[in-house]
Amino acid sequence: MTNTFRAVLEAGGPSFMPTQVVQVPAHAWQAVGGKATKRVVATLNGHAERLGLLPQEGGGRYLLLRKELCQRLGLAVGQELEVSLTPDPNPDYVDLPDELAEALAAWPEAETAFQAQTGAMRRAMARKVADAKRPDTRARYAVELAERLARGGHPFRATS
C-alpha cells in the first residue's frame, strides 16, 4: 500500500522545536491506514526515511523533518518534494547508535528498562546520543542514559 503526492516543504512544527514539515493530504494518509497509522516509511525525492505521521488540529496529518535530515537530503523550505508513503512494517524499530548499543549491552538492567519504554521514548534516547557531535559526548550521554535506566529512573531527568 503506497501513496505518492507532491508537497512543499514548509517551516513549522511545535513551537518549542522549529523544524520543517510536509503537509500530508487526507487521501494519502488515509490510503496508508488512516488514523491508526502512526509511523511510515516516507520516500522524499527518492530517499526513504522512517518518520512519524503526526496529527494536526482539525484532523489532518503531517511529517516532521528535522533540520539534520533536511541538510543531509539537501532539502530547503519552499522546495517542492515528491513524497511516497507506506506503512512502517516495524514501527517500534529503533536504530541505535553504537555508543548506546554498547552501554545497554554492558548493563542488562538498563537494556531491560530501555526495551520497556515506548517506541517514541526509545527513539528520543537514541536521537539524543546520535545527535551529539563529538564521540566523547555521545559516549557520555549513552552511559548517563544507561545508568539512569538501570537505576529505574527517567532517562532524561537526573535524580538528586
Q: Do 22 and 68 belong to one domain? A: yes
Residue (of 97, 158, 102) closest to 124 by Cα position = 97
DSSP summary character for residue 77 = T
Q: Is residue 141 part of a domain?
A: yes
Q: Do 56 and 34 belong to one domain? A: yes
Please give the Cα distance from 99 to 73 (Å, whole number): 25
70 within 8 A of 20, measured Cβ to Cβ: yes
Please give the Cα distance from 54 to 74 (Å, whole number): 23
| Per-residue pLDDT at 17 | 65
150 within 8 A of 112, measured Cβ to Cβ: no
Residue listed under C-alpha cell 523550505:
77
| Per-residue pLDDT at 33 | 86
143: containing domain: 98-150
Residue (of 128, 119, 160, 134) closest to 146 by Cα position = 128
Does residue 52 sit in helix, strand or coil?
Answer: strand
- pLDDT tens figures, 73-118: 999 999 999 999 999 988 888 889 999 999 999 999 999 999 999 8
Instruction: Report pTM.
Output: 0.71
Q: Is residue 155 part of a domain?
A: no
Please give the Cα distance from 90 to 20 (Å, whole number): 24
Q: Do 118 and 81 belong to one domain? A: no
Higher pLDDT, 87 or 35: 87
| Predicted confidence (pLDDT) at residue 14 exceeds the cutoff of 70 | no
Q: Do 79 and 22 belong to one domain? A: yes
When divided into structural domains, the chain yields a total of 2
